């Protein structure tokens, strides 16, 4: 009777395990932070970055869209109208 070769035997694949992260030696525990939407919003408020011209135009174009009830119209026309209105405000 002949022995089966290693390639012909059915083997189950080995289970993969993840290595545990080593504990810090200074007695502190490492915790991964997970930002919730509320935390991310609060962090954004703290940075107080100036509102860019594009953000102003985007907000105005969205207002125009909402004024139409979200129906019909053209996003491009809303954008161009918003640009025109914002530029008129900054010039005046």
Q: How many CB atoms lie within 10 A of CB 81?
A: 16
Number of domains in the chain: 1
- Residue 27 in any domain: the answer is no
Q: Is residue 20 situated within a structural domain?
A: no
Q: pTM score, two decimals?
A: 0.46
Write the pLDDT tens digit of every residue in 16-53: 777 666 655 666 655 555 556 666 666 566 566 788 99
Minimum mean pLDDT among 5-14, 29-38, 51-60: which range?
Answer: 29-38
Task: Report if residue 61 sits inside a domain.
Answer: yes
Burial of 86 (0-12, 13-18, 19+ CB in 10 A): middle
Which residue range is the domain that position 53 belongs to?
Answer: 49-91
Residues in the chain, overall count: 92
Our CA dihedral for 48, 50, 52, 55, rounded to 10 degrees, sits at: 30
The residue with greater pLDDT, 67 or 19, is 67
């Amino acid at each position: 009777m002949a022995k089966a070769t290693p390639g012909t035997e059915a083997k189950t694949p080995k289970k993969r395990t993840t290595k545990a992260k080593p504990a810090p030696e200074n007695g502190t525990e490492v915790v991964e932070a997970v930002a919730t939407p509320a935390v991310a919003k609060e962090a954004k408020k703290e940075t107080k970055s100036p509102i860019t011209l594009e953000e102003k135009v985007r907000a105005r174009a969205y207002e125009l869209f909402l004024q139409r009830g979200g129906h019909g119209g053209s996003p491009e026309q809303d954008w161009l109208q918003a640009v025109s209105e914002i530029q008129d405000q900054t010039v005046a």
